């Protein structure tokens, strides 16, 4: 082996990496030097450590790992919850696209992603971009207001929106529209053709503020001189948006999309309280099907299959969004971050 | 510089967004202040300013019981998850027990798993443990998910404590306990606060879990109670509104007090992994 | 209070990096020992081994008569000042300083007395109830010192304590630290990469490179009699001129196309009358002067003149070959002159009014009593 080779494999750590606060720790970690740090009793440390993580391990084993394994197991069974269990093979999974209810639940989940995630992100971006052009102080109050829907108990949101979307009555959406000379009397949540879109509007109301707040804080980091320079160069509003605002907010967009997509896949509470999947199955979603199958129809196997599918979708979306929005150079680091660094 | 139109345009966007956000909330509050006897089923802004609906919801509507139940659940989950997660995260970072890597991985998974996939096994598990319809059925599964998040969250907090601080304390003669109590815990306090705020929100808002494991109305949480109440009082906006305000109030108050850590925590905590 | 004895101490990391290699060193009670060397030389690791924060791979460490090689940090009775001070951000100045005492179960009243005494010495009495984030860099530095002295430890360790301060404050704190160290009279190990600090503060200076102890002596001896070419190159600013050459039996030194005739009596005994020798010849900039009549000289063209007011630094281009030396860590730690004086350049510190200009042809002669010869193979000084 040549000397240059070994030098590359084992760099003298202090020489190559930055000094300074935190640098030493990171340096020693990267150089594989932890574990031989302090001359203290590591064995005793580990023993005490095991003892201290024991409650967490027990809780997670009993209420996360074991149920997860069980859920996967159930998903291959025909079981009504009381009687004997029989193998179902993959039928609970194939039903996801063969059965019309399951299929429409998945379709609705897709529609909801548009309303929960894509529309609020887009609106939030546009609004933030317009604000960004003018430096402004005192946004704290606005921030507090916009974020408010996120901390409202979901059932409360459902209740107030069933009021607002009622066919008639003071203060309803219809009443506001009719102020402009229309005569609308749609039962928004009760009509097959409008129920899904109406739920979508609630979702937009819920998540717009979250996106806006996130993008506002991001946009305030963009130097105004960037916009001024662009304007001097003759950039249009459109250019400013796609060339400056969107690229600079890449990270925030990723965060917003992740949060809102996960929220849309797990929108059980809102829909249970607002429409309970109705009218008919017009607003059925996977979460509702899980609840119905498992606790009302005695189809534990199919409920579990839907649950597992939902979990997989959550993971896939999270990962895909991150892949799309991380700058290419960071992708490797992103993968590594999933694994805990040696602590 | 900026034109007048641009300036007012910005203000308009800000105000319009605020108005749209606040409109349903204002509608809710004004309905809640409706007299319960009025029995209205429409939103009449500031029609009357009566607290009778609150009295009704609190007493006749059993919200007093629901609130107590939810408080017990929330405090139980908060205490358990804060202690268990802090201690475990400390151990992972500073004592390096065997299996900490696996534990951390399980935490990331556990936090991202939707309740929907766990709810069915939870039900049968709790049934076999004879815990259904009791407080532990509410607390334990929720605490497990909160611990999963908490370990993830607190681990990064412990890792952010400068190593030289730990070394300084070591040389100053600190034992493990002193180190934990006097150096590390004070250093991770802000993270602990944020974690508690988020766990509080998630637990107070929990719905599917109490819906499935509690069939005894005396153990309903406020979310389930409100949902039941909605079925019975859909035509009485005053009563329903008052119940909804009661249900929402605690979280909103906590939010208003600690909004900064709430918002940043939500963003940071929701993109685990 | 105690001495420190390092006995053939080595540190090998799990990835086979040899950070400290067979270092033996005695630090007397009350002595201030500076460990100096380029970044990555192992000085910090060595100090951390004394503190117990780093485990010893081989060798023995004694504090006083006690073998502490395997002892836990808190059993060693050492106090350390960290590069970033490592103050507890949630504690006030008084609480920070009193913390080690509190951990030892000292009574509240005694802690208060001792903390008051320490803050008095350090000029921190006014800021006792403030917290670290509200303090200036110099004040934080003092708090860190306070926390170290309040315990009255047997050993003081300081890890680049001044590197986070600005230049002016650094000079101030240098004397302040010295004062405090003299006052408490405790064996102190002081790590720095700054040779000025090393020279001005150390009772003795230990120069390390690549984990090995190159030389340990009082500062003037390190400067005047560098034991090997690395020390010669590292200590002194601008650096010593070091050139490859051949020394003949008659005292003729050839470096490049230049020839210097040296009086055999001034040569190290090992080189006298022993035929042709390859050598590394070294002479400090201040030991060169403009050659007079009859002097043997090196000639070259003046490339750069730096007027410092008190002296004139003259960079002269010659045909000589600069000695190949190990690279020192980060560029920031090399004396800036090292970069200017490229290959084949002599740097001379001349009188301010020597009247030298760029482009001049200059003849320089070394002070014969102050030349250095090193063995090109081992780098060691030839005696």
User: How many residue pairs bridge chain A and chain B with CB atoms within 8 Å of each other?
Assistant: 334
C300 pLDDT band, cuts 50/70/90, is: confident
- Residue A310, both tokens: 């939902």
Cβ-nearest to C13 among A19, A31, A41: A31
User: What residues does C289 pair with on adjacent strands?
Assistant: C365
> Where does A31-99 have alpha helices with state H?
42-60, 66-74, 91-98
Residues 96-135 on C with a CB inside 8 Å of B are 99-100, 103-104
- Identify from A9, A14, A32 which residue to disrupt to test chain C contact, counting C C-beta atoms within 10 A and taking the largest count: A14
B234 pLDDT band, cuts 50/70/90, is: confident
User: How many residue pairs bridge chain B and chain C with CB atoms within 8 Å of each other?
Assistant: 58
- The 3-state DSSP class for residue C26 equals strand
- Identify from C9, C43, C55, C211 which residue to disrupt to test chain A contact, counting A C-beta atoms within 10 A and taking the largest count: C55
- The 3-state DSSP class for residue C345 equals strand
Q: What angle is formed at CA C118 by the lines to CA C115 and CA C120, rounded to 5 degrees?
A: 110
User: Is there a single domain that holds both residue C252 and residue C134?
Assistant: no
Q: Is the pLDDT of residue A30 over 70?
A: no
Q: Is the pLDDT of residue A341 over 50?
A: no
Are A36 and C329 a contacting pair at CB < 8 A? Answer: no
Tally of domains in chain C: 2
- What is d(CA B240, CA A150) in angstroms, rounded to the nearest whole number? 21
Pairing verdict, β C312-317 and C277-283 = unpaired
The CATH number that applies at residue C369 is 2.40.50.140
Are B266 and A150 a contacting pair at CB < 8 A? Answer: yes
Contacts of B103 in chain A (CB under 8 A): 53, 56-57, 60
B142 pLDDT band, cuts 50/70/90, is: very high
Question: Is the residue at C381 inside a domain?
Answer: no
Question: Is the residue at C227 inside a domain?
Answer: yes
By C-alpha distance, the chain B residue nearest C100 is B172
Q: What is the reported pLDDT for A185? A: 85
- What is d(CA A161, CA A157) in angstroms, rounded to the nearest whole number? 6
- What is d(CA A162, CA A71) in angstroms, rounded to the nearest whole number? 34
What are the φ and ψ backbone dihedral angles of C348, each rounded to 5 degrees?
-125, 140
Question: Is the residue at C163 inside a domain?
Answer: yes
Question: Is the residue at C205 inside a domain?
Answer: yes
Question: Is the residue at C380 inside a domain?
Answer: no
- What is d(CA C330, CA C339) in angstroms, rounded to the nearest whole number? 12
- What is d(CA B122, CA B136) in angstroms, rounded to the nearest whole number? 12
User: Is there a single domain that holds both residue C9 and residue C123?
Assistant: yes
In which residue are the tokens 């935490």 written?
A: B107
Question: Is the residue at C352 inside a domain?
Answer: yes
> Where does A75-194 have alpha helices with state H?
91-98, 100-113, 119-132, 140-151, 154-164, 173-178
The CATH number that applies at residue C153 is 3.40.50.300
Q: Is the pLDDT of residue B177 over 50?
A: yes
In our burial notation (b when 16+ CB lie closer than 10 A, e otherwise), range A308-335 reads bbbbebbbebbeebbeebbeeeeeeeee
User: Is there a single domain that holds both residue C272 and residue C333?
Assistant: yes
Question: Do C174 and C32 touch, CB atoms closer than 8 A?
Answer: no
Q: Which of C234, C261, C289 is the last residue of a domain?
A: C234
> pLDDT (tens digit, 9 = 90+) per residue, C236-259?
888 888 888 888 877 888 887 788
Q: Is the pLDDT of residue B21 over 90?
A: yes
- Closest among C48, C381, C46 to C226, alpha carbons compared: C381
User: Is there a single domain that holds both residue C262 and residue C229?
Assistant: no
What are the φ and ψ backbone dihedral angles of B13, each rounded to 5 degrees?
-60, -45
- Residue A49, both tokens: 């450590």
Contacts of C210 in chain A (CB under 8 A): 12
Question: Is the residue at C144 inside a domain?
Answer: yes
User: Is there a single domain that holds both residue C255 and residue C326?
Assistant: yes
Question: Do C173 and C137 touch, CB atoms closer than 8 A?
Answer: no
Query: Which chains are within 8 Å of C by 3+ CB pairs?
Result: A, B
Are B247 and A155 a contacting pair at CB < 8 A? Answer: yes
Q: What is the reported pLDDT for A137? A: 65
User: Is there a single domain that holds both residue C270 and residue C192?
Assistant: no
User: Is there a single domain that holds both residue C216 and residue C262?
Assistant: no
Cβ-nearest to A53 among B10, B100, B207: B100
Cβ-nearest to B172 among C52, C83, C103: C103
Residues 6+ away with beta carbon under 8 Å from C265:
none
Structural element, H or E, at residue B107: helix B100-112
By C-alpha distance, the chain B residue nearest A276 is B227
Q: Which of C187, C207, C234 is the last residue of a domain?
A: C234
Determine how many CB atoms are found less than 10 A away from the CB of residue C256: 16
Pairing verdict, β C66-67 and A86-87 = unpaired
> pLDDT (tens digit, 9 = 90+) per residue, C47-80?
999 999 998 999 999 999 999 998 888 889 999 9
Q: Is the pLDDT of residue A232 over 80?
A: yes
- The 3-state DSSP class for residue A62 equals helix
- What is d(CA C353, CA C142) in angstroms, rounded to the nearest whole number? 43
> Which residues of A sit within 8 Å Cβ distance of C?
10, 12-16, 19-21, 31-33, 35-41
What average pLDDT does the structure give for chain C? 86
User: Is there a single domain that holds both residue C28 and residue C177?
Assistant: yes
- What is d(CA A218, CA A325) in angstroms, rounded to the nearest whole number? 15
Q: With an 8 Å Cβ cutoff, is C361 touching chain A?
A: no
- What is d(CA C94, CA C111) in angstroms, rounded to the nearest whole number? 9
Cβ-nearest to C53 among A14, A20, A37: A37
By C-alpha distance, the chain A residue nearest B244 is A156
Question: Is the residue at C100 inside a domain?
Answer: yes
Range with the poorest average pLDDT among A245-254, A262-271, C171-180, C324-333 = C324-333
User: What residues does C361 pair with on adjacent strands?
Assistant: C301
Cβ-nearest to C16 among A10, A14, A15: A10
Cβ-nearest to A160 among B7, B24, B167: B24
Are C80 and B183 a contacting pair at CB < 8 A? Answer: no
- Residue A254, both tokens: 């990723």
Are B270 and A315 a contacting pair at CB < 8 A? Answer: no
- Residue C57, both tokens: 């791979």
pTM: 0.84
Which domains occur in chain B, in start order? 4-53 (no CATH), 57-271 (1.10.3720.10)
Q: How many residues does chain C have?
A: 383
Are C55 and A39 a contacting pair at CB < 8 A? Answer: yes
Q: Is the pLDDT of residue A105 over 70?
A: yes
> pLDDT (tens digit, 9 = 90+) per residue, A162-210?
999 988 787 888 888 888 888 888 889 989 999 999 999 999 999 998 8
What average pLDDT does the structure give for chain B? 89
Q: With an 8 Å Cβ cutoff, is C53 touching chain B?
A: yes
Containing structural domain, residue C266 = 241-374
Q: Which of C187, C208, C234 is the last residue of a domain?
A: C234
User: Is there a single domain that holds both residue C48 and residue C145?
Assistant: yes
User: Is there a single domain that holds both residue C267 and residue C301?
Assistant: yes
User: Is there a single domain that holds both residue C12 and residue C73?
Assistant: yes
User: Is there a single domain that holds both residue C185 and residue C310?
Assistant: no
């Amino acid at each position: 082996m040549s000397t240059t080779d070994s030098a590359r494999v084992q760099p003298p750590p202090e020489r190559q990496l930055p000094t300074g606060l935190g640098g030493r720790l990171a340096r020693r970690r990267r150089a594989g030097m932890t574990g031989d740090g302090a001359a203290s009793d590591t064995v005793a440390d580990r023993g005490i450590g095991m003892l201290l993580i024991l409650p967490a391990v027990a809780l997670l084993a009993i209420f996360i790992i074991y149920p997860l394994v069980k859920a996967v197991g159930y998903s291959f069974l025909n079981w009504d919850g009381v009687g004997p269990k029989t193998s179902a093979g993959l039928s609970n999974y194939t039903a996801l696209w063969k059965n019309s209810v399951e299929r429409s639940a998945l379709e609705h989940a897709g529609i909801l992603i548009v309303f929960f995630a894509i529309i609020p992100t887009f609106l939030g971006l546009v609004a933030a971009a317009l604000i960004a052009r003018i430096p402004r102080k005192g946004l704290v109050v606005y921030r507090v207001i916009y974020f408010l829907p996120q901390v409202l108990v979901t059932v409360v949101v459902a209740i107030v929106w069933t009021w607002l979307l009622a066919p008639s009555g003071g203060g309803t959406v219809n009443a506001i529209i009719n102020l402009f000379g229309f005569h609308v009397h749609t039962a928004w949540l009760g009509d097959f053709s409008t129920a899904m879109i109406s739920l979508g509007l609630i979702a937009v109301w819920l998540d717009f503020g979250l996106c806006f707040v996130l993008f506002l804080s991001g946009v305030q980091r963009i130097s105004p001189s960037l916009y001024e320079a662009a304007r001097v160069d003759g950039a249009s509003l459109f250019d400013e948006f796609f060339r400056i605002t969107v690229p600079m907010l890449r990270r925030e967009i990723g965060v917003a999309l992740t949060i809102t997509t996960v929220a849309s896949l797990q929108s059980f509470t809102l829909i249970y309280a607002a429409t309970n999947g109705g009218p008919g199955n017009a607003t059925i979603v996977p979460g509702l099907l899980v609840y119905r199958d498992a606790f009302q129809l005695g189809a534990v196997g199919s409920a579990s299959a839907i649950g597992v599918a939902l979990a997989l979708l959550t993971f896939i979306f999270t990962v895909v969004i991150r892949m799309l929005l991380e700058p290419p150079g960071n992708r490797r680091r992103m993968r590594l971050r999933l694994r805990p660094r040696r602590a | 510089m900026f034109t007048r139109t641009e300036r007012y345009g910005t203000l308009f966007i800000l105000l319009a967004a605020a108005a749209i956000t606040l409109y349903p909330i204002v509608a809710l509050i004004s309905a809640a202040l409706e007299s319960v006897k009025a029995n209205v089923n429409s939103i009449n802004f500031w029609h009357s300013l009566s607290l009778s609906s609150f009295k009704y919801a609190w007493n006749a509507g059993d919200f007093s019981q629901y609130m107590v139940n939810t408080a017990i659940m929330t405090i139980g989950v908060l205490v358990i998850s804060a202690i268990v997660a802090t201690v475990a995260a400390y151990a992972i970072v500073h004592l390096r027990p065997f299996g900490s890597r696996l534990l951390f991985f399980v935490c990331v998974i556990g936090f991202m798993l939707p309740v929907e996939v766990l709810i069915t096994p939870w039900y049968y598990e709790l049934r076999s443990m004879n815990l259904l319809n009791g407080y532990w059925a509410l607390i334990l599964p929720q605490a497990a998910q909160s611990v999963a998040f908490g370990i993830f969250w607190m681990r990064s907090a412990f890792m952010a404590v400068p190593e030289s601080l730990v070394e300084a304390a070591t040389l100053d003669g600190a034992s493990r306990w002193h180190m934990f109590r006097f150096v590390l815990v004070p250093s991770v306090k802000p993270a602990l606060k944020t974690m508690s705020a988020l766990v509080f929100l998630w637990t107070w808002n929990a719905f599917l879990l109490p819906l499935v494991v509690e069939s005894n109305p005396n153990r309903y949480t406020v979310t389930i109670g409100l949902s039941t109440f909605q079925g019975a009082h859909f035509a009485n906006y005053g009563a329903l509104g008052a119940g909804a305000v009661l249900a929402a109030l605690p979280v909103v108050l906590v939010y208003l007090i600690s909004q900064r850590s709430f918002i940043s925590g939500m963003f940071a905590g929701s993109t685990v992994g | 209070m105690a001495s420190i004895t390092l006995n053939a101490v080595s540190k090998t990391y799990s990835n086979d990096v040899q950070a400290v290699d067979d270092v033996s060193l005695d630090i007397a009670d009350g002595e201030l020992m500076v460990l100096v060397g380029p970044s990555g030389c192992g000085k910090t690791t060595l100090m951390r081994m004394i503190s117990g924060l780093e485990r010893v791979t081989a060798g023995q460490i004694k504090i006083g008569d006690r073998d502490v090689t395997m002892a836990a940090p808190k059993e060693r009775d050492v106090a350390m000042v960290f590069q970033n001070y490592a103050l507890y951000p949630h504690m006030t100045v008084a609480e920070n300083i009193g913390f080690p005492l509190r951990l030892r179960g000292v009574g509240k009243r005694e802690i208060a007395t001792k903390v008051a005494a320490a803050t008095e010495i350090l000029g921190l009495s006014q800021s006792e109830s403030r917290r670290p984030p509200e303090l200036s860099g110099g004040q934080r530095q003092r708090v860190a010192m306070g926390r170290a002295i309040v315990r009255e430890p047997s050993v003081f360790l300081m890890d680049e304590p001044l590197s986070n301060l600005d230049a002016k404050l650094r000079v101030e704190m240098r004397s302040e630290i010295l004062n405090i160290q003299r006052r408490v009279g405790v064996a102190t190990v002081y790590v720095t990469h700054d040779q000025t600090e090393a020279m001005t503060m150390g009772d003795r200076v230990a120069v390390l490179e690549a984990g090995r102890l190159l030389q340990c002596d009082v500062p003037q001896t390190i400067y005047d009699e560098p034991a090997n070419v690395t020390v010669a190159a590292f200590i002194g600013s601008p650096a010593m001129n070091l050139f490859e050459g051949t020394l003949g039996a008659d005292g003729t030194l050839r470096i490049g196309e230049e020839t210097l005739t040296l009086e055999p009596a001034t040569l190290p005994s090992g080189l006298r009358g022993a035929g042709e020798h390859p050598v590394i010849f070294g002479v400090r900039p201040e030991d060169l002067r403009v050659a007079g009549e009859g002097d043997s000289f090196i000639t070259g063209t003046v490339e750069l003149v730096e007027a410092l007011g008190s002296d004139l630094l003259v960079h002269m281009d010659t045909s000589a070959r600069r000695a190949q030396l190990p690279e020192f860590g980060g560029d920031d730690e090399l004396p800036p002159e090292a970069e200017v004086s490229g290959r084949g350049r002599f740097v001379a510190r001349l009188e301010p009014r020597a009247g030298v200009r760029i482009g001049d042809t200059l003849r320089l002669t070394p002070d014969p009593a102050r030349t250095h010869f090193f063995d090109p193979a081992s780098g060691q000084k030839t005696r």
